[in-house]
């Protein structure tokens, strides 16, 4: 990797000051994507601002209808949290399926959301659970946050501080995992709230994570697998690569969505 200057702020204010003063900066969260990218010289920041010592960015808080997870909270911490398991067990299962145990001990939720990898898991949870992405400047609704592959609503130098999920009455995440990379070939998060059902798909969209309105409307009327009879997603708009072509991915979205609805409908109401 190319050389860089290393900076280690201890609070969000310091981090924001550093990013305002310095040129060509990147924030380092858990580094499980950024460091490999830097090794391949696909990223070469002049200044790396490590958020690892910013204690205020860590932790999990639960209230009656929201679950808030600090941006620097590790995947392993989410997977092992009793609060998460009680409030949104589907999120526990999602965190348990990210990467491998070693990656989960370094990778963070904020890093995953800010990166918006088209095959990452958390973006699907954010969309389906109608999450609020809270930054040091504002609060962004998940629907406005994800703006295409590796693109988000974040401004230059803006720092995600936490992600607040609305606690659903029922939810499930089902992932068709690529066996080598462990990323989602298709991942579907289904969540039911009092005001309706959301279905979010990761791993498959040519433009990144997306919702399936037709499925959502049908499931909002009848939260059962049968409600999806006759509903499919078109291959147009799906990504194609050596692992799976667009037609296969579109088919798989239908299969995995049905499994997710089945799992969500049988979860505790």
Partner 1 sequence: MTTVSLTVNGQPVTADVDPRTLLIQFLRENLRLTGTHVGCDTSQCGACVVHLNDQAIKACTILAVQADSATVTTIEGIAQGSELHPMQAAFREHHGLQCGFCTPGMVMSAIDIVNRKGQALDEQTIRDELEGNLCRCTGYHNIVKAVAAGAQAMAQKPLPQAAE
| Contacting residues toward partner 1, per CB under 8 A | 1-6, 8, 28, 31-32, 35-36, 38-39, 48, 50, 52, 76, 99-103, 105-106, 180, 182
Q: Name the residue among 259, 176, 245, 255 with its Cα closest to residue 206.
A: 245
CA dihedral 119, 176, 29, 109 (to 10 degrees): 110
CB of 254 to partner 1, least distance (A): 27
User: CB 164: neighbour CB atoms within 10 A?
Assistant: 20
If the CB atoms of residues 36 and 213 are measured against partner 1, the closer one turns out to be: 36
Q: Which is closer to partner 1, CB of 45 or CB of 208?
A: 45
Q: Which is nearer to partner 1, 78 or 200 (CB)?
A: 78
Is the Cβ of residue 104 or residue 198 nearer to partner 1 in the bound state? 104
Task: Name the minimum Å distance from CB 29 to partner 1.
Answer: 11
* Nearest by Cα to 162 from 27, 54, 68: 68
The least CB distance from residue 50 to partner 1, in Å, is 6
Question: Shortest CA distance to 158 belongs to which of 143, 142, 136?
Answer: 136
* Min dist. Cβ of residue 52 to partner 1 (A): 6
Smallest distance from the beta carbon of 220 to partner 1, in angstroms?
35
For residues 1 and 22, which CB has a smaller minimum distance to partner 1 in the complex?
Answer: 1
For residue 201, what is the enclosing H or E element?
strand 196-202
In the complex, minimum distance from the CB of residue 8 to partner 1, in angstroms, rounded to a whole number: 8
Sign of CA dihedral 119, 121, 176, 95: positive
* Distance of alpha carbon 189 from alpha carbon 125, whole angstroms: 6
For partner 1, the closer of residues 48 and 191 by Cβ is: 48
**Residue 95 is inside which H or E element, if any?**
helix 89-96
6: CB partners within 8 A, 6+ apart = 48, 50
């Amino acid at each position: 990797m190319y050389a860089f200057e290393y900076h280690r702020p201890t609070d969000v204010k310091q981090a924001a000051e550093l990013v305002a003063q310095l040129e060509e900066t990147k924030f380092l969260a858990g580094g499980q994507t950024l460091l490999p990218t830097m090794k391949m010289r696909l990223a070469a920041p002049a200044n790396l601002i490590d958020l690892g010592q910013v204690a205020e960015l860590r932790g999990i808080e639960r209230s009656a209808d929201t679950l808030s997870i600090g941006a620097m909270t590790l995947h392993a911490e989410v997977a092992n949290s009793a609060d998460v398991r009680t409030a949104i067990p589907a999120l526990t299962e999602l965190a348990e399926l990210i990467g491998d145990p070693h990656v989960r001990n370094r990778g963070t939720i904020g890093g995953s959301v800010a990166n918006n990898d088209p095959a990452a898991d958390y973006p699907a949870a954010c969309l389906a659970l109608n999450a609020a992405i809270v930054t040091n400047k504002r609060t962004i609704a998940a629907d406005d946050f994800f703006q295409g592959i590796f693109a988000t609503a974040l401004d230059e130098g803006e720092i995600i501080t936490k992600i607040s999920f609305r606690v659903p009455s029922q939810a499930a995440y089902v992932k068709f995992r690529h066996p080598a990379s462990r990323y989602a070939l298709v991942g579907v998060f289904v969540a039911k709230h009092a005001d309706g059902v959301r279905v979010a798909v990761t791993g498959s969209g040519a433009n990144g994570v997306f919702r399936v309105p037709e499925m959502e409307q049908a499931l909002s009327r009848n939260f059962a697998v049968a409600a999806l009879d006759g509903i499919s997603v078109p291959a147009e708009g799906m990504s194609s690569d050596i692992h799976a072509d667009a037609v296969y991915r579109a088919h798989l979205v239908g299969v995995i969505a049905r499994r997710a609805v089945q799992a969500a409908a049988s979860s505790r109401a």
